[in-house]
Chains A and B, each alone.
Chain A
Amino acid sequence: MKQKKSRVVRYNKWGYIFLIPFVAVYLIFQLTPLVSTIWNSFFENYRSGLKQIGPNFIGLANYAKILSSGELWRYAGNTMIMWIIGFVPQIFFSLLLAAWFTDPSLRLKGQRFFKTVIYLPNLIMASAFAMLFFTLFADSGPVNSILINLHLIAKPYKWMSHVASTRNLIGLMNFVMWFGNTTILLMAGMMGIDQSLYEAAEVDGATSTQIFFRITLPLLRPILVYVLITSLIGGLQMFDVPQILTNGTGDPMRSTLSMIMWLNKHLYSKNYGMGGALSVLLFIITAVLSIIVFKFTQERNS
């Protein structure tokens, strides 16, 4: 008996041994940087011309400065607007497609093909996709050329010079890249719904619209919340597309400058105090959103 116990203990020490690579790498490459990012946020530390200022401990002054400056709110607003432009059609078409794909009475053909096509943009390099849009929507690019040939416009439209069209292009790219992913997630959720509910509704003479709004949507709520919040977290991290499309400027007039693009600017100019404070703020927002997701997944599992 004693021997058996010691053997079990001997095995179980391997639990720790197998965790060593993860823990070591995590501590060095993720936890240390996180702690030092937070540490940096309490110091004045930047370059002014050739002169290095700091690091001097200044407590929460970086936070006060960042929160009271109009810039943070402006770039947070940009990020949210561009996220919403992409997210509204994304959730609309994903719900529609997922409902159609999982509806047995429709018997849609070629589902494999359609799913393959709509998921494809999700795997495309975002920076290459943005570069592609930049060339396609250039003043003398193919899109203007096509629109002129179709007599829809008389002279080239300057897509990148108007706030609305630039933001809409970024939203369009995000939509094209993500609606396939969301469709597949929602389909999994819809297939998890008890079929007998649908059968009962049909016997009662419910139309497919009624079934969608009275049965599918309410039962889908946890997955919808999951999709909404993970997409919002992804939206906060928006970087590659606007960065490449506008060459990092966020033009026109910084209307497409996202929060991570702003962080990236601080990192490049080695303004570590402000960069740190901005990182910590983004970290807190993401943490709060993640906790909401976690709460909902728990609720669903129990």
Chain B
Amino acid sequence: MDEVKKRKTASVHVRRAVAYAVLVFLTLLCLIWFYILIINATRSHSELSKGFTPIPSTHLIQNWVNLLHGTLPVFRGLANSLIVAGSNAVLCTYFSTMTAYAIHAYNFKLKKFMFTFILAVMMIPTQVTALGFIQLMTKMKLMDNLLPLILPSIAAPVTFFYMKQYMESVLPMSLIEAARMDGAGEFRTFNIIVVPLMKPAIAVQAIFTFVGSWNNYFTPALILHKDRVKTLPILIAQLRAADWLKFDMGQVYVMILFSILPVVIVYLFLSKYIVGGVTAGGVKE
């Protein structure tokens, strides 16, 4: 018996060692790209052309200043990205909560149909409706406008589904009845009682919506062609299309760093909630 136990502990040790080795390997595989990115963002073009060194240099600020004085409208891009992603986060979470509340709290004839309908359209990718979308936006004179990237977020089936699931666990109907007894109107009840109760779900979905919109490239690239409306992913694509051999590589690295840094910083602060939010949406037991 002792022999068996000993062998078992030994095998646990071996398995643990293998597990750590694989985890360290995968950690390196995830982070090495960003390490090289940060190092290279601090080096000047001439230093970069001499090959890679693992030690950072001193040209980070200089590269950044050069980028700002270059041809890419970086700050405009940052502002546009913030406007679009921020409005997406607010509109999407608020109206998805409202839609979920409509289905959760009321009984009406089309309730079941609407719920099934929203679930059915959940998987339709935006790419397959893009053709009709750009035609419609051309007709509505909304090309080179940020609105086509903001307004559609009001109807977000995936966020709706998450909100509906969460609402079922936190919102008892008795609470709504009580508010009605006190004479609160339905719209007021929604804003004063339901939305605050849903705060944790709203926070998680706001982050996911913000990040999704911040990183979005396909639709913005079809809608935004003028410099004053371009978002960061479009500037990245522009950088790629430029004659990059003549480009100051230090600036290229700073630009990439600049585009991903806001999301990384937010993530480092909120990673607990974000990692927890991944499972709650997709597969819920």
Contact = CB atoms under 8 A, between A and B. Distances in A.
B121 A126 contact: no
Given A19-B99, A35-B132, A290-B123, A118 B155 contact: no
Given A117-B31, A131-B239, A230 B218 contact: no
Contact of B128 (A16, A240, A280): A280
Given A21-B98, A100-B19, A117-B30, A279 B155 contact: no
A86 interface: no
Contact of A192 (B95, B101, B237, B285): B285
B14 to A, nearest CB: 11
Contacts of A128: 232-233, 236, 256, 259-260
A94 B102 CA distance: 38
B19 A188 contact: no
A123 B136 CA distance: 31
A28 B30 CA distance: 41
A21 B30 contact: no
Contact of B240 (A17, A115, A179, A247): A247
A93 to B, nearest CB: 7
Contacts of B26: 93, 97, 114, 118, 179
B200 interface: no
Interface string A5-46: 000100111111111011101101110111111011000000
B267 interface: yes
A131 B15 CA distance: 38
B190 A18 contact: yes
B215 A135 contact: no
A120 B128 contact: no
A119 B108 CA distance: 41
A14 B106 contact: yes
What's the dominant secondary structure at chain A's contact region?
helix
A108 B106 CA distance: 47
Nearest to A259: B127
A119 to B, nearest CB: 5
Given A117-B31, A121-B30, A123-B267, A264 B218 contact: yes
Contacts of B70: none
Contact of A244 (B27, B51, B52, B237): B237
A12 B108 contact: yes
Interface residues of A, number: 102
A179 B278 CA distance: 13
B15 A263 contact: no
B134 A29 contact: no
A180 B127 CA distance: 25
Interface residues of B, number: 94
A123 B37 CA distance: 16
B128 A34 contact: yes
A185 B278 contact: yes
A226 B283 contact: yes
B95 A21 contact: yes
A141 B123 CA distance: 39
Interface stretch (A60-68, A76-84, A142-150): A142-150
Nearest to A40: B131
B152 A29 contact: yes
A30 B19 contact: no
B243 to A, nearest CB: 11
Contacts, number: 284
B51 A133 contact: no
A21 B129 CA distance: 20
A116 B108 contact: no
A127 B233 contact: yes
A85 interface: no
22 contacts: A15-B102, A16-B102, A16-B110, A18-B190, A22-B155, A25-B154, A29-B155, A32-B136, A33-B133, A35-B132, A40-B132, A97-B26, A116-B275, A124-B264, A126-B215, A146-B52, A240-B217, A247-B241, A267-B130, A280-B128, A286-B124, A287-B124
Interface of B: 11-12, 15-16, 19-20, 22-23, 26-27, 29-31, 33, 36-37, 40, 49, 51-52, 95-96, 98-99, 101-103, 105-108, 110-111, 114, 118-119, 121-125, 127-136, 148, 151-152, 154-155, 160, 180, 186-187, 190, 211, 214-215, 217-218, 221-222, 232-233, 236-237, 239-241, 249, 252-253, 256, 259-260, 263-264, 267-268, 271-272, 274-275, 278-279, 282-283, 285
Interface of A: 8, 11-19, 21-23, 25-26, 28-30, 32-37, 39-40, 93, 96-97, 100, 105-108, 112, 114-121, 123-129, 131-136, 140, 142, 145-146, 148-149, 176, 179-181, 184-185, 187-189, 192, 208, 223, 226, 230, 233, 236-237, 239-240, 243-244, 247-248, 260, 263-264, 267, 272, 275-276, 279-280, 282-283, 286-287, 289-290, 293-294
Cβ-closest 8 pairs across A and B: A15-B106, A33-B132, A18-B102, A36-B132, A290-B123, A145-B51, A142-B52, A26-B155
